[in-house]
Amino acid sequence: LKMAAGQWTEDELDCPICLDILKDPATLPCGHSYCMGCIKNYWDQNNRTGVYSCPQCRETFTPRPALRRNTMLAEVVEKLRRRGTSTPLPPPAPSPSGPGDVLCDFCTGRQVRAVKSCLVCLASYCQTHLQPHCEAAPLKRHQLVEATGELQEKTCSSHDRFLEVSSRTDQKGAFYACLMDEHRGHNTVSAEAERMKKQKQLGATQTQTQQRLQEREKELQELRQAVDSLRSSAHTAVQDTDRIFTELIRSIERTRSELTQLIRAQERAAVSQAEGLLERLEQEIAELRRRDAELSQLSHTEDHIHFLQNFQSVCVLPGAGDSPSIPVRPHFSPEAVRRAVSGLKEQLEDVCREESVKISRTVKETLVCSLKTSEPRTRTELLHYACQLALDPNTANRHLCLSEGNRRVSTTKEPLQYPDHPERFDNWRQVLCREGLSGTRAYWEVEWSGVRSDIGVAYKGINRKGKGVDCRLGRNRKSWSLYWSGTSYSIWHNNQETEIAAPPSSRIGVYVDHRAGTLSFYSVSGDTATLLHRVQASFTEPLYPGFGFGLKFFIFFLDSSLTLCR
């Protein structure tokens, strides 16, 4: 006992409730000790159910334990009081410290780095000053953590003790003695138990974060692949464009050359013909000049006999039929050729202008589409974006019954006693989900049965009151739906119908890529998802999955149901 007393300090023998040295120490069945008066007062003030608990470990006792004075512990306390001081600490051994290190609270002079912090002593220790916590039995029970400079943030400002319980009422930490003061009557739990609960929430958040991270990494990879593909495709398109336009330019050059050659050939033929005519004309002119000279000479001769003898031969002119027919065109005009070539030029310019607009539109659309992340093509890929949905009871029409944890909806002949709510559909038998989808990709599947149904999405602002089309899924600007009429499918948006030729399916898959503006409906059979229709839109608000079964006042009751698949 004397040895035990020498190993204890006053702090170790403090009552966890009053924080003073134990008076009439009483030990509970769990092993923790308190002042007899403190623990009785604690139980008297906090017991309301007949179940009593230890303020430290929260172990419960029924019935209330009969408390007795711990005589051995009382003797240790008495000897410690008489001794008056605790065992002195050995001098610290220096150890290096650096910027940002937590310093030992017991070293003086040279700064020494702490290696551990004690959550009971609320102090940090270097390796040397930590030895008592490793050797002394009472100190071994203290909770040691890696050296931290945030001990004050984890300390009760009223009692200067470590926060060991958590108040769920005001979300604050507390010390056991606080339960009798400002946290009296609060819903409290040990910090460890609260940590375990929050740890699960943290795990769920981390799982969602990792899922989101995987989605973003996949989108990043897809976008990088799309950019690489875009660059490669653009390079190929530029090469093809250069080649085609080069061929076009060559074709125009070839046509120009052929036309030039044609003009030159026609020129040569005409000139050759004209030159032949010129030669014949020159020959005839020479002959006529010779004949004219003979006639002139004969007309001046004085020899009558000579005149008469030659008269007959020189007075006969060359035949008119022998003279060539010469077209007289003093000026050659290229106007007809110019008009024809100008007309060709204008036609080519018109065609180029029209086709250039079409080509530009095609290039822009192709580039935009190539930058969009690819849509999943198989059911396995679609399920990667599966989301958990729940139907919102506040939106359900009174002729709809929700069940299976708000994952199943079925029609009822008699109205249910739902309370009035501004978001409830009062005439159309429709219901929306709680979850709004925005800025991400999501996929869900539904099993349905009945005569007719609407499966779609809507903005939160869709009207809920009345019988007009502004309240029905797909019949307004604020919603889109896949409608089964009993004989065929059709897509509805803004009260416009697009018919779909497809066999009926009891399971429908819906895929939304909010940022890409894609809404796709699939017919699901086994592991196969067959695309029914894809809608391209610009979504400006969160989309709420919704389901409908027509108006509530059909003459004949139509039993229908729909279940969100897990």
- Stretch among 48-52, 149-153, 527-531 having the lowest mean pLDDT: 149-153
Say which CATH topology domain 379-564 has: Jelly Rolls (2.60.120)
Q: Which residue has the higher pLDDT, 326 or 426?
A: 426
Give the pLDDT of residue 86.
45
Segment (H or E) for 201: helix 191-299
Give the pLDDT of residue 164.
61
Closest alpha carbon to 473 in 444, 493, 499: 493
Q: What is the pLDDT of residues 255-308, one digit of tens each?
A: 999 989 988 898 888 888 888 889 888 988 898 898 888 888 888 888 888 888
Give the pLDDT of residue 387.
92
Q: What is the pLDDT of residues 194-247, one digit of tens each?
A: 888 889 889 888 988 888 888 788 778 878 887 887 888 888 889 998 999 999
Between the CA of residue 156 and those of 14, 175, 211, what are the distances in Å? 16, 6, 38
Give the pLDDT of residue 171.
56
Give the pLDDT of residue 234.
86
Question: Tokens 């551990």 sit at which residue?
Answer: 116
- Token pair listed for 402: 């929700």
**Average pLDDT, stretch 92-118?**
71
CA distance 297 to 304: 13
Give the pLDDT of residue 367.
66
Give the pLDDT of residue 89.
42
Peptide bond into 503 cis (omega under 30): no
CA distance 464 to 473: 11
- DSSP per-residue letters across 96-147: ---TTPPBPSS--SS--B--EEETTTTEEE-TTTTHHHHHSHHHHTSPEEE-
Dmax over CA atoms of the chain, in Å, equals 194
pLDDT tier for residue 533 given thresholds of 50, 70 and 90: very high
**Average pLDDT, stretch 86-96?**
45
**Average pLDDT, stretch 398-407?**
94
CA distance 135 to 554: 84
pLDDT tier for residue 172 given thresholds of 50, 70 and 90: low
- Average pLDDT across the chain, whole number: 83
CA distance 194 to 197: 5
Give the pLDDT of residue 422.
95
pLDDT tier for residue 99 given thresholds of 50, 70 and 90: low
Q: What is the pLDDT of residues 133-169, one digit of tens each?
A: 888 887 888 888 888 877 766 666 555 555 665 555 5
- Model confidence at 378: pLDDT above 80: yes
Question: Tokens 């004219």 sit at which residue?
Answer: 292
Give the pLDDT of residue 332.
61
**Average pLDDT, stretch 322-343?**
70
pLDDT tier for residue 92 given thresholds of 50, 70 and 90: very low
Instruction: Determine the 3-state secondary structure of 479 from DSSP.
Output: strand
Give the pLDDT of residue 447.
95
- Model confidence at 181: pLDDT above 70: no
- Model confidence at 336: pLDDT above 60: yes
Q: What is the pLDDT of residues 439-466, one digit of tens each?
A: 889 999 999 998 889 999 999 999 999 9
Closest alpha carbon to 38 in 29, 30, 27: 27
Q: Which residue has the higher pLDDT, 6 or 138?
A: 138
Instruction: Determine the 3-state secondary structure of 279 from DSSP.
Output: helix
**Average pLDDT, stretch 116-131?**
86
List all residues 6 or more positions away from 452 whose beta carbon is below 8 Å from its beta carbon. 483, 484, 485, 486, 549, 550, 558, 560
Q: What is the pLDDT of residues 472-512, one digit of tens each?
A: 999 999 999 999 988 999 999 999 999 999 999 999 999 99
Give the pLDDT of residue 39.
87
Give the pLDDT of residue 94.
44
Give the pLDDT of residue 119.
82
List all residues 6 or more positions away from 560 whose beta carbon is below 8 Å from its beta carbon. 410, 411, 448, 449, 450, 451, 452, 453, 549
Give the pLDDT of residue 177.
54
CATH superfamily of 1-88: Zinc/RING finger domain, C3HC4 (zinc finger) (3.30.40.10)
Number of helices followed by number of strands (H, E) in the chain: 9, 23
CA distance 324 to 329: 15
CA distance 480 to 494: 8
- Token pair listed for 4: 């035990």
- Model confidence at 98: pLDDT above 60: no
Backbone angles phi, psi at 148, to 5 degrees: -135, 145
Give the pLDDT of residue 4.
47
- Model confidence at 88: pLDDT above 50: no
Residue 549, burial from CB neighbour count under 10 angstroms (0-12, 13-18, 19+): buried
Confirm if 137 and 7 have CB atoms less than 8 A apart. Answer: yes
**Average pLDDT, stretch 422-443?**
93
